[in-house]
Chain A
Amino acid sequence: MSFPMDDGRPIFQQIAERIEDDIVDGTLPEEGQAPSTTHFAQFYGINPATAAKGVNVLVDQGILYKKRGIGMFVAQGSRERLIIKRQEQFYEMYVVPLLREAEKLGIDSKQLAVLIQEKGRG
């Protein structure tokens, strides 16, 4: 049984992000072997070529590297690099929409800060 994934964006991009997620949260350790494109294709029910394209995005970025005849492995230092990249994206992806919604609802930045701190404690 495959696990459908589709949020409307290009599938190869979604695949690349899923692999990144696994590296960031440690499911896929550095120097660990990534599943083959066939596995990705079967698991997510997508075209193998599209899965390969997603993997290749990460190869191009140096996150994954190819061992001839064996498969794909997570490069040393990948997790660190991805975390930095994600931190850079964090503002754009999470803070901006948060602030916009808060503005709509009339929550000012002080109140917002309080909310975050309370949640953080609880």
Chain B
Amino acid sequence: MNRGLKSVIMMYRRDLFSWIYLPWMIMLSSFVVNLIIATSMQEEFTTGGLLSIFIYIYIVGLVTVNQTFSFALSLCISRRDYFAGSSLAIVVIALFHALLMTIVASIEKAVGSWGGMNFFVLPDTSDGPAWQTFFVFFIALLLMFFIGFASSSLSRRFGKKGNFILYGGAFVLGGGLTTIASLRGWWTPMYEWFIDLQPTLAGIMSVLLVFSAVLALLSWLMLRRSAVRA
């Protein structure tokens, strides 16, 4: 491992609190609150508390470039090493969180529920074997990170203007297309087409993994031409 890559990883390792502990603290506080609610509920229910870690990881991706890119560059680390180090860091972090989440989900499955509450087991995604649950968590975490990372790479590369054009463009385009789809009655055929594909969990996850990789690639292409203004 070269010195630049090592230093980027060292940089992230100095902040384990944000990367490791804080998301679990948030998730566990949600767990506790829901557990209290569960005691007063009669029927079984699933909380959305698990989502907090995915949202959290998205935010981490969003602030990472802001927090560390100009810092790394001013330490004369190459953009390539910065990108590779950051990607390696998130893969390791996602593996760690996914593993821990899978373990807790397995316990939850074994005991049925926490006093009528389901927290770590998500319907339709955690039905299979543990390794499958693990990959669902892992890929979803990776995807959330790179959505944030690509978005902040965009503002690093193109500034506020870039963000405005992307989100403004997406809003106009998305709004336009959905309106047209509704007017022309495209929704039903689209839904039927989707069902015809007979999507499997593995299939969806593969698509999301490819999507993460595309976002990572786009981030790199933007970062390699990004400057740190004096």
- In the complex, A touching B, CB below 8 Å? no
